[in-house]
Amino acid sequence: MASQENPDALVLSDDPLHPANLIPELCRNFYQLGWVTGTGGGISIRVGDKVFIAPSGVQKERIQPVHIFVLPFPQAAPSPHTDRVFLRRPALNLTESACTPLFWNAFELRDAGSCIHTHSQNAVMATLLWPGSTFAISHQEMIKGVRRGGVGRALSYLDTLELPIIENTPNEEDLKDSMAEAMTRFPEAAGILVRRHGVYVWGPDWEKAKTQAECLDYLFEIGVKMKLAGLETVMGA
């Protein structure tokens, strides 16, 4: 197989929509938004039986296609503590994103085609102003850009959007189990907030995952502003 003879063939393409070209482009976009500063955050795209994942520790606005990891899917959820199979590892001294086992939650539990992790300040503030286990907001037009479970039909203006909030851990991979448990308890949630950390958002493909990440960030921001103004975020609450 050509990819075994030349693993770089998996990430070198003239197609601008190839995952290895999209991931650097999206990371630059998210960097400009302040979502992935300081190398934090990440993105993955699954196409068929391959998962393309950004590296850890590389400045997000400087990621190149040759930095991208490619893993087969399905396989047991990869983590630093378990063996995993790579179709391609960069020749540089890089490791795949620490978010990898959490991305796997979205692939396995929601059949997602892409998962995005941001350190957006709007998301972090939302976890601080909603001290319970969920963020909730209703009667906002941008709710219509969010899908049930992240991959189903779109919510309506009249729906109350809820996202679970899980507690942060010192090591990112240790969030895997609590994230999976929250996804099971909230099957219609399109993302998971991590207190004092950020958010994980997924979709059936990269475009819908990006759309939902943008819509959710808008809702976090307006929700925070409403809270600070003393307004209820859920109508009739």
pLDDT tens digits along 58-111? 999 999 999 999 999 998 777 766 678 899 988 788 888 889 999 999 999 999
**In the predicted model, what is the mean pLDDT of the chain?**
93
**CA 207 – CA 14 distance, rounded (Å):** 19
Among candidate residues 5, 61, 141, 162, the one labeled active-site is 141
Strand order in the sheet with 42-47: 69-72, 50-53, 42-47, 114-118, 198-203, 191-194, 160-166, 134-138
Q: Let me know: does 159 contact 138? Beta carbons within 8 Å.
A: yes
Tens of pLDDT along 173-230?
A: 899 999 999 999 999 999 999 999 999 999 999 999 999 999 999 999 999 999 999 9
| Residue 2 pLDDT greater than 70, yes or no | no
Annotated binding site for Zn(2+): 117, 119, 197
pTM assigned to the model: 0.93
Annotated binding site for substrate: 99
What kind of architecture, by CATH, is found in domain 2-228? 3-Layer(aba) Sandwich (3.40)
- pLDDT for the residue numbered 173: 87
- pLDDT for the residue numbered 57: 87
Closest CA to 106 of 151, 161, 66: 151
Residue 141 is among the residues annotated as catalytic for this protein: yes
Tens of pLDDT along 27-70?
A: 999 999 999 988 889 999 999 999 999 998 899 999 999 999 99
